Chains A and B, each alone.
Chain A
Amino acid sequence: MSTTQSSSDRRTGRRPSTRAVAVGILLVSVVLAGIVSFYAASSPDGLTKVSQDEGFADTEKEHRTGDGPFAGYGTEGVDDERLSGGLAGVVGVVVVLVLGAGVAYAVRRRPGRDSPDRG
């Protein structure tokens, strides 16, 4: 593992920095959740459809957090459908990012020396 890292760092002369890749993934995620999600298919998903066809859809119980401010990927108090869903999506991206990175930082290896890649 450590050998690949040092040699690949040498190779990355003209490759985008880790920070650039990170910003890229974040931008793509925000655009997908904030804008593109509006155009997602609204038909029931695989399991929902099967539950309707096979006759057990009515066993679903009401969701316990179903009255939260972002329940159902909408934003409470925002009437515009595009804005409501887009805001909820961006909030979700940020919350998942913070939680995910937080957990990852908490469990990561802590090397004695600095990592060679500070990009």
Chain B
Amino acid sequence: MHVPDGFLDAPTSVVTGAVAAAGVGLALRGARRELDDRTAPLAGLVAAFVFATQMLNFPVASGTSGHLMGGAIAAVLVGPWTGVLCTSVVFLVQCLLFADGGVTALGTNIVLMGLTTVLVGWLVFRGLQAVLPRRPSLVPVAAGIGAFVSVPAAALLFVVLYAVGGAAPVPLDNLTTAMVGVHLLIGIGEGVITFLAVGSIVAVRPDLCYGARRVLAARELEIRPAATGASA
């Protein structure tokens, strides 16, 4: 969903640029709480993984494809503030090095595919964690559902931005239906990829998954004397 130069007018792009800058600025402060010597390299790796996976467009409908946005995956693996930094780095590199996403639209793309997917993905994830049993196996499920919801949410925000500062007059109901419709399908891919990626980390080292720490902390309180044989 990389927005190119020209889709949104200059004032709208200035506003989204300011919002993106403010979001990244807040994230630089907030990420301090999430990052230490052990998790800092993981943040770089998660950013690299999101970049790599964004290259993998998958077909969603006739003549249409989609790819991962990655906000939910990054938020659950390394924390929401760090997730904002990871996705922002990806969009910056894509814009400057690969001409993917407009230069004046960089703020827009960070707001839509970074801030929005991190925020929505993380809130849905945490909401599900609050109601679901605290089991490590449910962490990737909640992450996948958060990821699924985050994509149409980003598409909806694009429609709002387009209504404010779109370059061409387009019937908004048509635009809404088209954008949300196709991004519901892309969201399924986002959810599946997020489920698999988070599931892989939780399976081998749940302590390295930021979103699993609460679950692990809860489990610590239930440790009983070891029975014979393995029980995991």
Contacts and interface: CB of A to CB of B under 8 A. Distances in A.
Interface of A: 1, 3-5, 7-9, 11-12, 15-16, 18, 21-22, 25-26, 28-30, 32-33, 36-37, 40-47, 49-51, 53-56, 59-66, 68, 70-73, 88-89, 91-105, 107-111, 115, 117
Given A43-B59, A50-B179, A55-B168, A99 B47 contact: yes
Interface in B54-70: 55-60, 63-67
Given A25-B46, A45-B66, A50 B205 contact: no
A26 B48 contact: yes
Contact of B57 (A33, A40, A104): A40
Contacts of A15: 204-205
Interface string B20-63: 00000000110111011111111111111111110111111001
A97 B40 CA distance: 11
A66 B6 CA distance: 14
B4 to A, nearest CB: 4
A44 B6 contact: no
Given A25-B45, A42-B57, A50-B179, 9 more contacts: A25-B42, A43-B63, A46-B65, A56-B7, A100-B46, A100-B90, A105-B40, A107-B31, A109-B32
Contacts of A108: 32, 35-37, 39-40
B208 interface: yes
B216 A4 contact: yes
Contacts, number: 257
B205 A63 contact: no
Interface residues of B, number: 82
B8 to A, nearest CB: 9
A51 B7 contact: yes
Interface of B: 1-7, 28-29, 31-33, 35-53, 55-60, 63-67, 82, 85-86, 89-90, 92-100, 102-103, 155, 158, 166-168, 170-171, 174-175, 178-179, 182-183, 186, 201, 204-208, 213, 216-217, 220
Contacts of B45: 22, 25-26, 29, 97, 100-101
Contacts of A93: 48, 51-52
30 contacts: A3-B217, A5-B207, A8-B216, A12-B205, A16-B205, A21-B205, A33-B52, A33-B55, A43-B65, A44-B64, A45-B67, A46-B64, A46-B182, A47-B155, A47-B158, A59-B168, A60-B6, A63-B5, A63-B99, A64-B102, A65-B96, A94-B48, A95-B97, A96-B89, A96-B93, A97-B44, A101-B41, A104-B44, A104-B82, A108-B37
B92 to A, nearest CB: 8
Contacts of B97: 65, 68, 70, 91-92, 95
Contacts of B64: 43-46, 49
Given A42-B57, A54-B178, A104 B99 contact: no
